[in-house]
A and B are shown apart, each in its own frame.
Chain A
Amino acid sequence: MLIGIDLGSRSIKLAAVKDGILAESLVVESGFAPHDQAALLLARFNARRVVSTGYGRHLAQRHFAGEIITEIKAHALGARHADPSCETVLDVGGQDSKVINLDGAGRVKNFQMNDKCAAGTGRFLEIMAATLGYTLAEFGEAALAAREGNAIGSMCAVFAESEVISLKNRGTPPEAIARSVHLAIVDRLAAMLNKAGHGRRLVFSGGAARNRALVGLLEERLGVRFTVPERPEIMGALGAALHAGTLD
């Protein structure tokens, strides 16, 4: 069994690969001691090799001495598995979003990451959903249900929150606000994709890809179609496990 483990800022993802095929996957909260959590997960497997990635990869390396690769490379490998002709990966993660362009052989050609603020990340979606009293899943569905809504003006999480609250107080229907928030993130992601440039074969990875409103609105805006993997949140872990296979 080859294991890839992605120690993210909010959750830990594990992917187990056998004969080049995803055999099992797990997702747990990061908690206070992510490497302990990760070690508990690992104890369930008889791993031939472990590769870690994500924000906590160096921590993981100190504790279970595996190989590490960056999230960028891991998502590139994972996306290429989901679509072997993938040219561009969009990954919207908890802390940051990235656009990764690949060459014909699947190697990273260039990449862009958002800067240190929360705008255009999963964190931003979470804050806005909570402000409206939605769960993340409901948030996306609400945005789908709404027919109107203009992008909110502010992308700073702090200002956007107060903008949402004042819309709410003015009696704007919550679905319309949900749509407005989604449109604002779509603006941001579209700008990132346009700046980095992108191919025609795109994979949307990371937990936010489960949000149908986000994917749909972004497709509409860019005039493209995304491949959304069945389990978008484990693409990094999967990439790490696939990398483990190349180390033999």
Chain B
Amino acid sequence: MTPEQFEVKANPALWERLGMNVERFSGMPKMLTEAFRGIYLSQKNRPARMEYFDGMIAELHSGRVEELVTAKDAGRPVVGTFCVYVPEEVIMAVGGICVGLCGGSQGSIPDAEKVLPRNICPMVKSAFGFKLGKICPYFQAVDLVYGETTCDAKKKTWELLDREVPTHVMEIPQMKRARDKALWLEEVKDFTSKMEEVSGRKATAEGIGAAIRVMNAKRLALQRLNDLRHHTPSPISGKDMLLIQQIAFYDDPARFTANVNELCDELDERIAAGVAVAPAATPRVMVSGTPMALPNWKLHHLIESAGAVVVNEESCIGTRYYKDLTDESTATVDEQLSLLTDRYMKIDCSCFTPNDDRIEQVLVEYRASGAQGLIDYCLQFCHTYNIEAVKLREMCEREGIPFLAIETDYSPEDVGQLQTRIEAFIEQIRG
């Protein structure tokens, strides 16, 4: 596909039906088309199978939304989420659909700032603004939003969001002792009842078991893809990888898994044939930190435009979403929920204390990915990741790893300054 052929499709009739502000939203597909052509389709040497994922972006505001609406008409509830700490398996077990909503766009922030204070993280503002402005088809399509207590900005915003759309909040403990696990198991049970109520269906052992298998397959496919990408030279760009990880949050899981595996087959061939996105000598950078919700491509675009390749994301848009699987061997619902809880308690979000497992995990992934430097990404006002950067820096100093901490938001204002820092960092890696 040439860049000119690519277009994010519009469907005003569908948007109307979802109660959107169609007039305001109609500029959105055009903006996204432009951005996607410039940032993604201008890349050289992309794998052919990226076509499926490009197609998912083309259908972002139409085809995929239509699928959701059709599913809703058939009685399947759609749940919007903002965090990887949601047991998606429970939603799927009652026939529901889980879509990630986290906002990654500057465009909706002014809407949010009419209500929310300015000095909270851009992700929360962007997401909330999408709902207030009625400018996100997914937000309009959801029957329920799942919120969590991982940070103060989120926790308090859910109270306001609940006035716009039913919002179920789960308490995420902030330590990982036995009693915290017990608390979270109770929360998972409550969430299960909530989903049963919303869907009118029971979460059976069979249903949960099937959902666990679907999610394990999806996570395995992403692990496979990430392992392939660690090859030097990388057979796929960091930007493309980021895109796939973002799509993971709203695509149909089984279809997504099949397409990721097909892409992996192609990458296997590329590696065997020595085809890469950049020469082996290209500096390799790993990114850690706060997740990057669609369409936040800022940092990856800066890094790869400056002549490096991103080889890993230690992030919830990244390994934190798929590094752990769930044990499939159990029979009763109680056992399944308990094993799911075990799996989710391994997520090392910076909201936990202590959280040294995360520092170790970053080092493990750094080594596995063949990276030559670590860039820690933090959204402005995201205090937990920002403070945890101190420990990451210490670890990097100890291990002799070049380290750069970046704090930013979605605005283009600081792009010049970030460019300088990132280029200097790459010069530093080159030596």
Residues on A facing B (Cβ under 8 Å): 55, 69-73, 96, 107-111, 113, 115-116
Residues of A within 8 Å of B416, CB to CB, are 55
Residues of B within 8 Å of A73, CB to CB, are 424, 427
Contact of A111 among B413, B417, B424, B431 (CB under 8 A): B424
Residues of B within 8 Å of A111, CB to CB, are 421, 424, 428
Residues of B within 8 Å of A70, CB to CB, are 420, 423-424, 427
Contact in complex: B427, A69 (CB < 8 Å): yes
* CB of A22, distance to nearest CB on chain B (Å): 23
Contact in complex: B428, A113 (CB < 8 Å): no
The 3 closest A-B pairs by CB, nearest first: A72-B424, A70-B424, A108-B428
Contact of A108 among B407, B413, B417, B427 (CB under 8 A): B427
Interface string of B392-431 (1 = CB under 8 A from A): 0000000000110001000001101100110110011001
Name which residue of chain A comes closest to B427, CB basis: A73
* CB of A178, distance to nearest CB on chain B (Å): 29
A69→B428 CA distance, assembly (Å): 11
Contact in complex: B420, A71 (CB < 8 Å): yes
Contact in complex: A116, B414 (CB < 8 Å): yes
A96→B413 CA distance, assembly (Å): 14
A73→B414 CA distance, assembly (Å): 20
Name which residue of chain B comes closest to A58, CB basis: B419
Contact in complex: B414, A107 (CB < 8 Å): no
Number of residues on chain B facing chain A (CB within 8 A)? 14
Contact of B420 among A108, A109, A113 (CB under 8 A): A113
Give 4 A-B pairs besides A69-B427, A96-B417, A108-B427 with Cβ atoms closer than 8 angstroms.
Answer: A70-B420, A72-B421, A107-B431, A110-B402
Residues of B within 8 Å of A107, CB to CB, are 428, 431
* CB of B85, distance to nearest CB on chain A (Å): 30
Q: A69-B427, A72-B427, A116-B414 are in contact. Are A110 and B420 (CB under 8 A)?
A: no
A77→B220 CA distance, assembly (Å): 48
Residues of B within 8 Å of A71, CB to CB, are 420, 424
A32→B416 CA distance, assembly (Å): 18
A109→B396 CA distance, assembly (Å): 12
Residues of A within 8 Å of B423, CB to CB, are 70
Residues of A within 8 Å of B407, CB to CB, are 115
* CB of A61, distance to nearest CB on chain B (Å): 12
Residues of B within 8 Å of A55, CB to CB, are 416, 420
Contact of B417 among A69, A109, A110, A113 (CB under 8 A): A113
Name which residue of chain B comes closest to A105, CB basis: B431
A69→B427 CA distance, assembly (Å): 8
Name which residue of chain A comes closest to B405, CB basis: A112
A116→B418 CA distance, assembly (Å): 10
* CB of B196, distance to nearest CB on chain A (Å): 48
Residues of B within 8 Å of A109, CB to CB, are 428
A70→B414 CA distance, assembly (Å): 16
Name which residue of chain B comes closest to A68, CB basis: B423
Name which residue of chain B comes closest to A75, CB basis: B424
Residues of A within 8 Å of B402, CB to CB, are 110
* CB of A80, distance to nearest CB on chain B (Å): 15
Interface centre among A55, A71, A96, A108 (most CB of B within 10 A): A108
Name which residue of chain B comes closest to A9, CB basis: B416
Residues of B within 8 Å of A108, CB to CB, are 424, 427-428
A111→B373 CA distance, assembly (Å): 14
Residues of B within 8 Å of A115, CB to CB, are 407
Contact of A116 among B417, B427, B428, B431 (CB under 8 A): B417
A107→B402 CA distance, assembly (Å): 12
Name which residue of chain A comes closest to B422, CB basis: A70
Residues of B within 8 Å of A96, CB to CB, are 417
